Amino acid sequence: MKNVIRSIFLTNLGVRETESVLVVVDKKKKEIGKMFFEEGKRLAKRCEMVEIPVGKINGEEPPAAVAAQLLQFDVSILITSKSLSHTKARKNACLHGARIATLPGVNEDMLMRCVLINYKKMHALIDHISDKLDNAHSVRITSNKGTDLHFSIEGRKAYGRHSGIFVERGDFGNLPDGESFIAPVEGTAEGRYIIDGSVAGIGKVDKPVLVEVSGGVAMRVSGGRAAELLSQQLTKYGKKSRNIAEFGIGTNDKAGITGNLLEDEKVLGTCHIALGNNTGFGGKTEVPFHVDGLIKKPTILIDGKVLMKNGVFKAKLFK
């Protein structure tokens, strides 16, 4: 584990001995955070750890004092139960030049399996996918479970080309990492999708979750207990939380479906749809909410051309 954490500091974040590092934790993730803190003290000029309250939902803002601290460090590692990825605090810190890795819900097993990977190989795949998304007008997703969703991505750009490697000023991403993702044009998504993997903050679904979409928003959510919990969150955070915010494709061949979206959304052969905030990657919807749902073995068409069929990429993507 020490070797993995050391690699995160040196390879994934490029921490130099002249730099400062902030480790942000909550009560549930404090022990793993301490391991990062101890390694940070050895590798950086200054390393501090701060604890925040356990968040209620992904995308909830951290305390104002911690948001201010993020502006004062070269590198921040956010090891929390709920994701801080799509918060104003994180985005502001990156705009000021901070490099930030978020690890919401991470555990040691996940880090051991999914971080020490062939990034050059993975980035080549992401580049292929992202090139196609950057130049496309529309996406359609279907699945054997009943998914049939389409939306526009015209004018939007894909993110994730440097998945897992955050060594330049302002860089940001998850660890473990491995995805190409894009913000659908607001108001264009139509159809339905079936979450048959997991839902962020909820875990593996007890029954497939049906999300019916019209006018770019999730109108109805139905299924079992997971669907009920997701519906409650959407009701609490209002119409903007129902925005079809993100379309992502997993590219990490070491990741597996565990019930933790931090890893699940990176699984090769899956895609995910997120609801809520997308201002951090080219979208226009600002809301303190961002929740992903995983679709297993999808068929993905970009401008009518097959990119993936039943969870398998077209062979030429790997050449």
3-state secondary structure of 237: helix
What's the pLDDT tens digit per position in 187-230? Answer: 999 999 999 999 999 999 999 999 999 999 999 999 999 999 99
Alpha-carbon dihedral angle through residues 269, 99, 90, 7, given to the nearest 10 degrees = 50
Among 289, 237, 300, smallest CA distance to 59 is for 289
Question: Which pLDDT does position 97 carry in this prediction?
Answer: 98
- Could you please report the per-residue DSSP string of 200-251? TTTEE-SSPEEEEEETTEEEEEESSHHHHHHHHHHHHH-GGGGBEEEEEEE-
Residue 2 CA, chain-centre distance (Å), reads 24
Question: Which pLDDT does position 315 carry in this prediction?
Answer: 64
Among 138, 106, 96, 124, smallest CA distance to 29 is for 106
> In this structure, are residues 241 and 276 in contact, taking their beta carbons and an 8 Å threshold?
yes
% of the chain surpassing 70 pLDDT:
98
Structure tokens given for 306: 């097959």
C-alpha span between 216 and 190 (Å, rounded):
6
C-alpha span between 253 and 268 (Å, rounded):
5
pTM of the model: 0.91
Rounded to whole angstroms, the maximal C-alpha distance in the chain is 53
Q: Determine the number of helices (DSSP H) and then strands (DSSP E) in the chain.
A: 8, 19
Provide CB contacts within 8 A for 17, sequence distance 6+. 43, 44, 45
> In this structure, are residues 262 and 176 in contact, taking their beta carbons and an 8 Å threshold?
yes
* Intervals of the chain under pLDDT 50: 319
C-alpha span between 151 and 26 (Å, rounded):
37
Between vectors from CA 148 to CA 145 and to CA 153, what angle results, nearest 5°? 135
Structure tokens given for 65: 């004092």
Q: Which residues pair with 8 in a beta bridge?
A: none
In the chain the domains, ranked by start, together with CATH numbers, are 2-106 (3.40.640.10), 119-318 (no CATH)
Structure tokens given for 106: 């991470």
Alpha-carbon dihedral angle through residues 243, 57, 35, 168, given to the nearest 10 degrees = 30
